[in-house]
Amino acid sequence: MEASVNIQSRSKSNFLPMAIVATLFFILGFATWLNGSLMPYLKQILQLTPFQASLILFSFYIAVTFTAIPSASLIRKVGYKNGMALGMGVMMVAGLLFIPAAKTQFFPLFLFAQLVMGAGQTLLQTAVNPYVVRIGPEESAAARISIMGILNKGAGVVAPMVFTALILSNFTDTVGTELSQVKIDEMANSLILPYLGMAIFIGALGFAVTKAPLPELEKEVDSETSSDQGLVKEALSHPSLALGVLALFFYVAAEVIAGDTIGAFALSLGVESYGVMTSFTMGCMVLGYILGIFLIPKFISQQKALMVSAILGLALTAGIVMGDNHSFAIANVVLVPFGFSPLPDTLLLIACLGLANAIVWPAVFPLALSGLGKLTSTGSALLVMGISGGAFGPLFWGITSGATDLGQQGGYMVMFPCYLFILFYAVKGHKMKSWK
């Protein structure tokens, strides 16, 4: 009886923190997946090449590389709760930077704003992910992360629609046409109010978090007696963590290619609704998360779900690279009967990558953190560094797009090695306890 009361009490005490964390995951997703609409939009305004457009994503995700470990150090000093608030404060500053960037149409300033936004997101990610893993049993961590993923990727469905409604709705006749300077100015200025509103909202939410009843997670290590370098070295001595970082690097590379380049690829095919294409990929990810919640661990283990995801990713990538951009067979079955406009098969296969990608983060994160104990925050920071794959995936996609006869379609072949490594981690990498 006493055990039952304790379980119920713990469940109630965890509900409010998880609800707050869920809101933060939604904000992370909204700010992140705006890039899928922003990239082709800026490509039009600034007349960028595919490689230059990929730098919009590169500058956002590369921030993870040099801010993840400092973020973990900062969190050990100020706590997880204050770390979340500070992360949102940096994101607010980034949103404000888009205003002068839009006014001047100065590409490097857009890249700097993206860099600052990525730094803020890294701090928030490093603080918020351990909450999900550590509030509850380790064996069900993947299910909890899947719930957070639904909100994060659900925001990815909403963000492009909001972007389209607020910004693209007045510029539906610009696809495939040469823009006048007047039209370019109008399109650039249309970014100002939405980003100002987003900055104000994120700033207000960050202040609210400082006043919210979030319990502080127990400190894992004394920052005065252990250096960052020593903690990183000790954490990376665990192969399952080190390989997990690489697995997430390749996963985020594939995830960002699927989610954020689909709009640019649609624009190259003359699809007028390019601004909402990211919503298709995120919708498939939400479906994948829902399946994960129901199937893991009752019907399938985290490891097997990861293996299935990698195999599905390889199959879909082959279909994209070798597919026909003039075929609408899939759309005629799943879209047209329900009143939707037909889309090329290759675009829909890119969207379906969302289904393959959905379970990867929820499965890898708890597998990689398993048994780390006092090194949890450092391990979390290293895993968050895997997000830097989002910088290099689109970059290599852009380079490959210009180096093959297939153009942007051929660029998607860079996802083959990504899914192959994820498959290796699912089969063997997560089991390795020693480098010998």
pLDDT tens digits, 176-226: 667 778 888 888 888 888 899 989 999 998 888 888 777 666 655 444 445
> d(Cα 420, Cα 250) in Å, to the nearest integer?
9
H-assigned helices in 191-328? 192-211, 228-236, 239-260, 262-268, 277-295, 302-322
Give pLDDT, residue 172: 63
CATH topology of domain 2-213+226-431: Growth Hormone; Chain: A; (1.20.1250)
> d(Cα 298, Cα 336) in Å, to the nearest integer?
36
Q: CB of 186 within 8 A of CB of 103? A: no
CA distances from 37 to 32, 205, 264, 302 (A): 10, 24, 8, 32
Q: What tens digit of pLDDT does each residue of 381-412 get? A: 788 778 888 889 988 998 898 877 778 899 99
Tokens of 335: 């879209």
pTM, entire model = 0.76
Q: What tens digit of pLDDT does each residue of 291-333 get? A: 887 887 778 888 888 999 999 999 999 999 999 998 989 988 9
> d(Cα 140, Cα 366) in Å, to the nearest integer?
9
Cis peptide before 394 (omega within 30 of 0): no
Please state, for a pLDDT cut of 70, what percent of the chain lies above it.
Answer: 88
CA distances from 263 to 25, 42, 118, 370 (A): 23, 11, 20, 37
Q: What tens digit of pLDDT does each residue of 93-128 get? A: 999 999 999 999 999 999 999 999 999 988 988 888
Q: What tens digit of pLDDT does each residue of 175-186 get? A: 666 777 888 888
